[in-house]
Chains A and B, each alone.
Chain A
Amino acid sequence: MLARMQQQTSAASWVAGHSTMAGDANDEHDRARRFRDAALPHLDDVYTLARYLMRNAADAEDAVQECYLRALRHFDSYRGPAMKPWLLAILRNVCNAEFARRGKQETEPADDERAEATPPIWQEPQASPETALLRQHDGDTIRRLVAALPQPFREAIVMREINDLSYNEIAEVAGVPVGTVMSRLARARSMLRSAWTVAEGAAP
């Protein structure tokens, strides 16, 4: 608080940017700038995970904004090395806090809901070997399949396939051992494959 006050009183020299009298203000400004440079390049990654965790755009945007503000406040405690997993961990906390605030843990979609979420692929004409089949799935369909996964598997697959995190990083973000990450990814992919298999089986 006092630092902030001093910053205001030294506004003029802060703007000039080279006064030693404005040390605190420069520090804060410098800190904010360093944070922006380090954190903003990961905005798309953070937003993507937020979309898959919150499941709708408005909630995701709120969560991302809260994540960045929270990250800025805690930037002093950031020790690296990787900014992206650090941000994603904060985002995950924000999302969990929001679910807790709503008074419920995220409810998993029931199996029939999950089935409902994926009808288009079953109606597409399917002709061919698996690779061709896979190629026909457009981004929306795959997105729906991923979005329909239960939370632990969904976040693991998103962090691995989209955010491009290592197993170690995913383990840190999710707060689980690396072995758990490996088995969750295996399970997530197996569930995704089942959905595809269903699609194949349903094809005419």
Chain B
Amino acid sequence: MNCADAEIMLHALIDGELDAGHARDVEAHVATCATCAEELKAVRAMRAAIAQANLKESAPAQLRSRIEAALAVPAARIAAPRQSWLAPLRSSWKTFFGGFTVGTALSAAVAASLVIAVVRNDQNQQIASDVVSAHLRSLQAGHLTDVETSDQHTVKPWFNGKLDVAPPVIDLTAQGFTLIGGRLDYINGQPVASIVYRRRKHVINLFVGEPLGAAVRGVKDESVQGFNIRHWRESGLDLWAVSDIDAGELDEFGEKFTAALHAPGPS
């Protein structure tokens, strides 16, 4: 073994990474080479100094609690769906994570949102897929409405205490869209109101929640798995209408909803 090889391999020797045969070779070389013996000694001393310096950092307590909260997503989602409305969403996870203070209750509550925040790149796609999944699920027997009534004055108060926002509940029967009830649902881990309408034999789920995901300008129409989604933002709320009716009719629904929302008189 020459010095060039030994200079490298003595590190592996010190690190306990050499098999017995190579370890013997290196040791044999070091025994006969003053330069390499000196090198070995120096490296050992340096390792000792590093070990003594105890360079391992301790994760800050607030980081630990943030992560623990984030990992408790399923529990948090069930235990505290209402508080999770508190979580602001930012386009950048950096400003988001830097932007809130963590209390025990809050950190558990924002857990669901943390997951949302870090997948921002495909977030809107995820939301659209969530919207369709929630719509599909609502169509299964017994899932469509939690409160079944065509009376908007029954549906609206039903959401009280279930959400931190008061979703607008508007009867559009006269415009061809019959209000049939309401339901609490989840989009991307956040609780949202679902206001359910019927158009002929087709169900329209109108999901209403606090702004979720990237800002939408005007109206965004898209189609996922054959369902049409109309997404817009209004009065500080995000709205998604989803149905298997065609996009034109869904637009009509959205426009009539908006018109009725801004119409004078009690809603």
Interface residues of A (CB under 8 A from B): 1-2, 4-5, 7-8, 11, 14-15, 25, 28-29, 32, 35-36, 40, 43-48, 51, 57-59, 61-62, 64-66, 68-70, 72, 130-131, 134-135, 137-139, 142-143, 146, 158, 160-162, 166-167, 182-183, 185-186, 189, 192-193, 196
With A and B bound together, what is the CA distance between A171 and B115 in angstroms? Answer: 30
Contacts of A137 in B (CB 8 A): 49, 53
User: Do A193 and B46 touch across chains, with their CB atoms under 8 A apart?
Assistant: yes
Q: Assuming the A-B contacts A48-B57, A186-B8, are A72 and B71 also in contact, with contact meaning beta carbons closer than 8 angstroms in the complex?
A: yes
Contacts of A185 in B (CB 8 A): 11, 15
The answer to whether B105 has its CB under 8 Å from any CB of chain A is no
Interface 9-mer from B126-134, B154-162, B211-219:
B126-134
Residue of B nearest to A12 (CB): B78
The answer to whether B94 has its CB under 8 Å from any CB of chain A is yes
Which of B49, B93, B114 counts the most chain A CB atoms within 10 A?
B49
Tell which of B56, B67, B133 touches A1, judged by Cβ atoms closer than 8 Å: B133
Interface positions of B from 43 to 62, Cβ below 8 Å from A: 43, 45-60
The answer to whether B257 has its CB under 8 Å from any CB of chain A is no
**How many chain-B residues does the 8 Å CB contact rule pick out?**
52
The answer to whether B9 has its CB under 8 Å from any CB of chain A is yes
Tell which of B46, B58, B71 touches A36, judged by Cβ atoms closer than 8 Å: B71
With A and B bound together, what is the CA distance between A196 and B43 in angstroms? Answer: 12
**Top 3 closest pairs, chain A to chain B, by CB:** A47-B59, A134-B49, A139-B53
Q: Assuming the A-B contacts A1-B129, A44-B56, A64-B59, are A35 and B71 also in contact, with contact meaning beta carbons closer than 8 angstroms in the complex?
A: yes
User: Do A162 and B55 touch across chains, with their CB atoms under 8 A apart?
Assistant: yes
With A and B bound together, what is the CA distance between A167 and B12 in angstroms? Answer: 9
User: Do A40 and B55 touch across chains, with their CB atoms under 8 A apart?
Assistant: no
Contacts of B48 in A (CB 8 A): 134
Residue of B nearest to A48 (CB): B57
Q: Mark B113-149, 1 if CB is under 8 A from A, else 0.
A: 0110010000000000110011001000000000000
Contacts of B52 in A (CB 8 A): 135
